[in-house]
Amino acid sequence: MSALLELDGVTAGYGGGDVLHELTLSVDEGGITCVVGPNGAGKSTILRLVSGLIKPRLGGVRFHGESITGLTPRQILQLGIVQVPQERSLFPTMTVWENVRMGAYTLSDRALMERRMRTVCETFPIVAERRHERVAALSGGQQKIVEFARALMLDPKLLVLDEPSMGLDPKTHTVVFDLIRDMNRAGRTILLVEQNARSGLGLASHGVVLESGRVRLEGTGAGVLGNGEIGRLFLGAPV
Amino acid sequence: MSSPARVRAVKLGALLIVAVVALLVPVFETDPATVNVAVFTAMYVGLATAWNIMGGYTGYVSLGHAAFFGFGAYAFGLVLAHLGIQAGYEPFLFVPIAGALTVVLALLIGWIALRTRAATFVIVTIAMMFMIQLLAENLVGLTGGGSGLSFPVPPWSGDFFDTPFYYAMLLMAAISLAISWWIRRSKFGLGLLAIRDDEDKALAVGVPAHTYKLTAFVISAGLVGMIGAIYGYYVTYIYPQYAIDPLVGISLVLMVFLGGLGTLWGPVLGAVILEPA
């Protein structure tokens, strides 16, 4: 598989302090790359970097082999890198339908938007079933599904998911992770940042463990998950 | 008939009945005092609906819209005087000019005021209203200052006097409602609602928030200015504290909150309840 996204020797952080130190990481096209690590390892900083919310002090970010370092968040969005943030990102007073439409706000082609809407409804039937309901009336898991639906409206080349398991009960957690797997099987490349190492790495084709802004270990998801030392060091116990 | 189609038919039927009743008010009610109340009710329906385009859809509460109301009245009076327009029906044709001048003022004020959010925006709009009132007071050569500004007096008899103004106000209310309805259904309106929910999230999904807020502010102010122009012609004489009255601004906000903020019919309901009361 070829690399869709590459972080090449990136040093980045906030204010005067660096969080990522000469980090090199690649996300293979068509796969699920999962980044795990303890708090403060730099997982969220990677996502902010990829979305253009912060810029690297050293090194660069490439997408499809082209540099995207320094592009604005809107330009990065238009390239097809769409992020589903950790916190609730829906508009609470809007209906399910309106929220999903907001995902394609930058699209000016109405016919294309309607086609995407139909596709999204097929993938996530809840969007059509509860289209007239306000999202505030949905459960946390259902809102997460609507967030996925909204993200797919731009037909992203790379879907960036920030801790999708956060705040979900076990049953909903299974539903959400099954959906992530389904989206990947449909050809979507996914970059996943997860605190729940077992869930994230269990799903991933490529696992990365971060420590203090550096890659401590990488390999297949199952390979990283099976590494007892890493489990004890970074994940609290053997996973 | 399917359920959504039946709901739509019922809504259309209700709308038609309301429209017919509104159009027939001066025909069946000849008491000038009652028609006078109808004029002000129609005026507040238009004002509240216009305010709702900004305050209701974007969540930016302006308490200074009375400035646009008064400015529209002054602009209209000065245009009529400058062009030497005689009293009668002809002045109504010049109401859009007052609206256009109010739009220019709103562009200037909105460009600055909309750099702020929440409570700061509310305070800026109040300050802006008092500045416009002060200017109307002090620019004596232009506005007449405290002595006020007179309009041509319509030549209609007492029994009929209110009727043309009622229909003019009703037309403005209908135009405001039509614009509000169109915005609520449009992509632009969806962007405004996103701004109301969370402006930063709206920016993140590509809503050009500043441009949209300014556009909503200007549309809202332009409509309010046109209604102010008709009001000025109706009362035939204005002075700063009367035309740029904070109570007008507060009343229309109250009506929108009472009827339903950010809805199409809420401002209408609020105005119909509060104004005759």
* Collapsed DSSP state (helix, strand, coil) of residue B238: strand
Q: What's the pLDDT score for residue A51? A: 87
pLDDT, residue A232, reads 67
pLDDT of residue A231: 65
pLDDT of residue A235: 55
Q: Could you give the CA distance from residue B97 to residue B84 in angstroms, rounded to a whole number?
A: 15
Residue B241 has pLDDT above 70, yes or no: yes
What's the confidence (pLDDT) of residue B1? Answer: 59
Which one of A92, A93, A105 has the shortest CB-CB distance to B207? A105
Q: Say whether residue A14 is in contact with chain B using an 8 A CB cutoff.
A: no
Residue B232 has pLDDT above 60, yes or no: yes
* d(CA B189, nearest CA chain A) in Å: 11
Query: Residue A62: beta bridge partners?
Result: A6, A67
CB contact under 8 A, A91 and B201: yes
**CA dihedral over A86, A90, A96, A102, signed as positive or negative:** negative
Please tell me the pTM assigned to this model: 0.84
Burial of A69 (0-12, 13-18, 19+ CB in 10 A): middle
Confidence tier at A78 by pLDDT (50, 70, 90): confident
**Confidence category of residue A1, pLDDT binned at 50, 70, 90:** low
Question: Under an 8 Å CB criterion, which residues of B touch A?
Answer: 187, 190-191, 193-194, 196-198, 201-202, 204-207, 262
Express each pLDDT in B156-198 by its tens digit. Answer: 988 899 999 999 999 999 999 999 999 999 999 999 999 999 9
pLDDT tier at A171, thresholds 50, 70, 90: confident
From chain B, the residues in CB contact with A101 under 8 A are 190
Please check whether residue A72 touches B, CB under 8 A: no
Longest dimension (CA), chain A: 53
* Better-predicted residue by pLDDT, B232 or A196: B232
pLDDT band at residue A169, thresholds of 50, 70 and 90? confident
Which pLDDT value is given to residue A175? Answer: 87
Mean pLDDT of chain B, nearest integer: 94
A213-234: average pLDDT? 82
B67, B220 in Cβ contact below 8 A?
A: no
Residue of A nearest to B188 (CA): A105
- Does residue A237 have a pLDDT over 60? no
3-state secondary structure B111-126: HHHCCCCHHHHHHHHH
Determine the pLDDT at residue B97.
97
Measured in whole angstroms, the distance separating CA A24 from the mean position of its chain's CA atoms is: 18
Give the model's pLDDT for residue B257.
97
pLDDT at A63: 96
Structure tokens at B213: 């807020």
pLDDT at residue A239 tops 60:
no
Residue B178 contacts residue B53 (beta carbons within 8 Å): no
Q: Where are the alpha helices (DSSP H) in A155-214?
A: 170-185, 197-203
- pLDDT value for A2: 85
For residue B242, give every residue at least 6 positions away whose Cβ sits within 8 Å of its Cβ, in sequence order, or none. B148
Residues of A in contact with B3 (CB under 8 A): none
pLDDT at A238: 54
Q: How much is the CA Rg of chain B, to the nearest whole Å?
A: 19
Q: What is the ipTM of this complex?
A: 0.77
Domain locations in chain A as residue ranges: 1-80+160-239, 88-155
In three-state secondary structure terms, B134 is helix
The mean pLDDT of B22-46, rounded to a whole number, is: 93
**What average pLDDT does range B125-140 have in this prediction?**
96
CA distances from A207 to A35, A223, A225 (A): 6, 8, 8
Strand A81-84: give its sheet, edge to edge: A81-84, A158-162, A189-193, A32-36, A206-211, A214-219
Segment of A162-176, B146-160, B225-239 carrying the highest mean pLDDT? B225-239
* A74 in contact with B, Cβ within 8 Å: yes
Instruction: Yes or no: say if B60 and B121 are a contact pair by the CB < 8 Å rule.
Output: yes
pLDDT band at residue B139 under the 50/70/90 scheme:
very high
Could you tell me the pLDDT band of residue A168, with boundaries at 50, 70 and 90? confident
Cα nearest neighbour of B261 on chain A: A93
Task: Quick: pLDDT tens for A193-214.
Answer: 988 888 899 999 999 999 899 9
CATH of domain A1-80+160-239: 3.40.50.300
The pLDDT value recorded for residue B3 is 76
* DSSP secondary structure string for all residues of A49-99: HHTTSS--SEEEEEETTEE-TT--HHHHHHHTEEEE-SS--S-TTSBHHHH
